[in-house]
Amino acid sequence: MVHGRSPSWCISRANGRPREPQPPHPVNARFTTGPAARHPARTKGRPAVTRLPRRAALALPALLLPGTARAEGWPVLRQGGIVLFRHANAPGGGDPPGFRLEDCATQRNLDALGRDQARRIGATFRAREIAVGQVLTSRWCRARETAELAFPGQSRPEPVFDSFFANRRDAAPRTEAARALLQGWAGPGALVITTHQVNITALTEIFPASGEGIVLRPGTLAVAGRIRP
């Protein structure tokens, strides 16, 4: 699981610097890439226009929709690809003192936001008609709950996806075992994994947000897309 909260979906505020003041947008502002953008004088008397480059305007709908993935992500899953989900939102970082794997009361668990994220994952797969062949999950309670809420009755625990946040000596052997399992996937349907940030970062060099999925191509395990919560 991801230990510690990560930045919101790829929107970084790391520099901590305030943004420069921006002029207010009129209520009826529009996005445009046509003549009005090239010849603003011709729009006199018309509603004010917010101008975007054509490519940015075309990409905007995909950026705004929840559950969207980079262009190749969904087709790859539709063809039997793999997705590594970081467990949904679970406040805090690491595991509390007295952590016991068999007792969820001793662990960090999903909050209401996390449970909503998990349900949306499953709803998005169903809406996009992605056939799921198998759902494997870390044995940590927050990963298991994410999988169960997203794909009820379909998940089973797989120790190679257990967190190694508290014991980095396990990182290399567990990552290699996970990679071997993933490389052996041949469908049918998509393989869904719910695991932790440290595991996903070790496999992909990507730091996912809570509830984010990283789509991999079967065989090569090349990254094909990212599913936003």
CA atoms within 13 A on the CB side of 116: 4
The tens digit of pLDDT for each residue in 111-164 reads: 999 999 999 999 999 999 999 999 999 999 999 999 999 999 999 999 999 999
Angle between helices 171-183 and 197-204 (to 10 degrees): 70
Place of tokens 């001793």: 106
The arithmetic mean of pLDDT across residues 72-89, rounded, is 95
pLDDT at 197 exceeding the cut of 90: yes
Output the CA torsion sign for 32, 36, 37, 38. Answer: positive
Q: Which residues contact 120 (CB under 8 A, 6 or more apart)?
A: 66, 67, 229
Any idea where the domains of the chain sit in the sequence?
30-64, 73-227
The tens digit of pLDDT for each residue in 168-177 reads: 889 999 999 9
pLDDT at 65 exceeding the cut of 80: no
Q: What is the number of other CB atoms lying within 10 angstroms of the CB of residue 25?
A: 10
> Going edge to edge, which strands form the sheet with 132-137?
155-157, 132-137, 190-195, 82-86, 213-216, 223-227
Domain 73-227 has CATH 3.10.350.10: no
- Contacts of 148-157 spanning 24+ positions with Cβ under 8 A: 148/118, 149/88, 149/110, 149/115, 149/118, 149/119, 149/122, 150/85, 150/118, 150/119, 150/121, 150/122, 150/125, 150/192, 150/194, 151/122, 151/125, 151/192, 152/122, 155/194
What pLDDT sits at residue 71? 52
- Whether 138 and 161 have beta carbons less than 8 Å apart is answered as yes
What pLDDT sits at residue 134? 98
